[in-house]
A and B are shown apart, each in its own frame.
Chain A
Amino acid sequence: MICIIALVVFSIMGIFSLTYRNLAKEAFDCVFRRITFRPCNTGFNEKIKSQLVAKLLNKSVFAARIFNKYFEVFSWAFLILMVWSTFYTVRGGYNYYLYGSCNGLNQVGFCALDPGGNNNKVTEISNGQCGLVEKKEENVTLDNVDLSSFPTKNVNSKDTIVLIGCYECDYTRKAYLDIQKLVKEKKTNYIFAHYPAKEDTNYLSEVGYCVYKEYGERFWEFNDYLFTVDKTEIYQSSYVNTILNKYNFDVEKINNCINNPLTKEAVNNQLNQLIKTHLYGTPTVFINGKAFVGPKPYRVYKSILNKFIIF
């Protein structure tokens, strides 16, 4: 069994060293003999065993004796461990490619390929509104959520992307650019929902609602600006008029809309709909109903819409 382990280990080490490349060839020869039902009589197993036992013997006689006596058992154990770890490595790589995390979609455990966990970081919703249901990715859903009042474009597409995020959150800002790129490329149905995770930008929900209500498609220019401008500016509600002016919106009309009690009721309704998704942080992106919590790499979003994962 040691030849199988040796083949894998020496193949990897052989990338960097000719010595190990030759050992890998020897190991391959041995493995090939095994899989063709011939005995591995090249002496490779003995060589590896002897080298390992000799190294151990220089450290501990007892350890060397045990290792030598139960070499086959150790070989099998290492083989099983190797197969097990290979499976998890491959699965981790697959998960990382598809979901941006080695551990699976929205799973926050350690991932060597994303050691900082950046692909899962969210701005947690701190107001407790979502506390009724445990914060779990599988609970995040669009079922029974009415999104008809939120800004929407490309309504005829078969694919739908829903971005729930807040203007001031760094992670949403990160995901926003990728989502815009994806929507532009794939022409998907796109729904944007502002969820003010930190309450500093609560007022922008009403502003956004009114801009979309009064100006329709022109909302997206305003939205793009809010996600790309220095966020300290949008903390100040007084600054909003400047922004509206900048985009030639009728400030008075928008302000009248904002002050209309019906607007407050509509925005509250929107918020209630978002709470029904059981989201626990922003950004939360739904692509054809599948939830992605945290800013994923662009390829992750795109792979859901691709026919064959990578294209």
Chain B
Amino acid sequence: MLDYEKIKVDFPLLTKQINNKNIIYFDSACMSLKPRQVVEAMNEYYLEFPACAGRSSHKLGNIVTKKIRESRQIVAKFINANENEIIFTRNTTEAINLLANSLYLEKGDLVLTTDKEHNSNLVLWQILVKNKGIRHNIIRSDDDGNFDFEKYKELVKDAKLVSMVHTSNLDGTTIPAKEIIKLAHENNALVFLDMAQTIPHKKIDVKDLDVDFVAFSGHKMLGPTGTGVFYGKYDLLKKLKPFLVGGDTVEYSTYVDHKMLEVPEKFEAGLQDYAGIIGLGQAVKYIEIMGFNNICEQELKLNQYITQEILKNPRIKIIGPNDPNMRSGIINFYIDKVDMHQVALMLDEMSNIMIRSGQHCVHSWYNDKKIKNSARISLYFYNTIKEAEELIKNLNKIIQIL
């Protein structure tokens, strides 16, 4: 059971007011709020030991090295990975770019994606199609928005890499990862999953899934901005060529040669965001204290209420299935011939209710469906039913004039 009095203390923003009204934050799919513990851990780095990790052997350097290692261990344990399988990146996008540029993809190799990919898992493949001559195929969802397994079965036979969003930021649906991975491996294809929208909400066990590569962002899971994680099976990571090279990626160099360090160091070029990585470790700890059961329960309760209320208005269409059980913490909706930016802006203006509007970096899907934009409510455990009621009250008010 979540203790909201404690949560309010941990998230000071929830008690902050603008124009004498509390902030109601429903945009966690874009950026989650940060608990005090995360901010304090980062501040501690800057105030107490702002030194380099892995390079300097003085006292402060040793503290940072230890703290970074701790964060790596925390994150590894969090997804049931090994410590040396965790590579810190700036975000999910950078992690996918690392994979795309490190994997030995050659002309003719096929990469499969879904039709709901964030631009970060779409554009780079399109570029590789042009630059390297790889092939890129999209598994389109069926009419209900569900993953088309039959189509996948057919296409995966020829695939080198299956690169898919695990939980979509578009509609909150989650693909059947285990089956997808199993089938891919049976066909000698590697599998990468974009778990930016999964990790903050569900317990993930990479070993159980047997997934080859995973990426997620710190800023969507209570962590600092500019932090992300790229997971890969150790043996596969060893085979990848480094994407960014430079400081702290080599064991030594001469004027004509160098020797790369082992995984994960060889992928973490340059000085890292130590404060961010330490903060990310704290964020993981905080999520574990909250407990995924509690998180899921609260999100579902809110999603059920909002969905039920929203669907009372026949003009509103929810993107994805109407069943809130299938949509994680996301309710993405639109109204024909209405600019949903206006809905979002008015909610903000009227009651400090912050939701996101637009195409949510999934432009390809909107263009294909010829939908101008949508308004997305994305929930997290710190949201309350009272906030959801306020949202519905104001939303109904707005819709009646549009």
Residues on A lying within 8 angstroms of B by beta carbon are: 43, 46-47, 49-51, 53-55, 57-58, 61, 64-65, 68
Contact = CB atoms under 8 A, between A and B. Distances in A.
Given A61-B397, A68-B402, A53 B341 contact: no
Interface in B335-369: 339, 341-342, 345-346, 349-350
A63 to B, nearest CB: 9
Give chain B's interface secondary structure class: helix
B306 interface: no
B346 A57 contact: yes
Contacts of B342: 46, 49-50, 53
Given A57-B346, A57-B350, A43 B401 contact: no
Contact of B401 (A46, A47, A53, A55): A53
Nearest to B339: A46
A61 B401 CA distance: 7
A233 B339 CA distance: 79
18 contacts: A43-B341, A46-B339, A46-B341, A47-B345, A50-B342, A50-B349, A53-B342, A53-B401, A54-B346, A54-B350, A54-B398, A55-B349, A57-B346, A57-B350, A57-B397, A57-B401, A61-B400, A61-B401
Give chain A's interface secondary structure class: helix
A64 B401 contact: yes
A51 B345 CA distance: 7
Nearest to B358: A43
Contacts of B402: 68
A72 to B, nearest CB: 13
A50 B401 contact: no
A50 B341 contact: yes
A73 to B, nearest CB: 16
Nearest to A51: B349
A27 to B, nearest CB: 16
Contacts of B346: 50, 53-54, 57
Contacts of A43: 341
Nearest to B345: A50
Given A46-B342, A53-B346, 9 more contacts: A47-B345, A50-B342, A51-B349, A53-B342, A53-B401, A54-B349, A57-B398, A61-B397, A65-B400
Contacts of B349: 50-51, 54-55
Contacts of B398: 54, 57
Interface string B375-402: 0000000000000000000000110111
Nearest to A43: B341
Nearest to A47: B345
Contacts of B339: 46
A65 B349 CA distance: 16
A303 B346 CA distance: 53
A50 B338 CA distance: 12
Contacts of A54: 345-346, 349-350, 398
A106 B341 CA distance: 54
Interface in B79-127: none
Contacts of A50: 341-342, 345-346, 349
The 8 closest A-B pairs by CB, nearest first: A50-B345, A54-B349, A65-B401, A54-B346, A54-B350, A50-B346, A46-B341, A50-B342
A76 to B, nearest CB: 19
B77 to A, nearest CB: 43
A206 to B, nearest CB: 76
A252 B341 CA distance: 94
A7 to B, nearest CB: 19
A58 B350 contact: yes
A218 B234 CA distance: 114
A50 B351 CA distance: 13
Nearest to A64: B401
Nearest to B398: A57
Contacts of A57: 346, 350, 397-398, 401
A57 B342 CA distance: 13
A64 B349 CA distance: 14
A204 to B, nearest CB: 69
A61 B400 CA distance: 8
B354 to A, nearest CB: 13
Nearest to B342: A50
A54 B397 CA distance: 10
A75 to B, nearest CB: 15
Most buried by B among A46, A50, A53, A65: A50
A57 B402 CA distance: 11
B24 to A, nearest CB: 15
Nearest to B351: A54
A46 B345 contact: yes
Contacts of B397: 57, 61
A46 B342 CA distance: 6
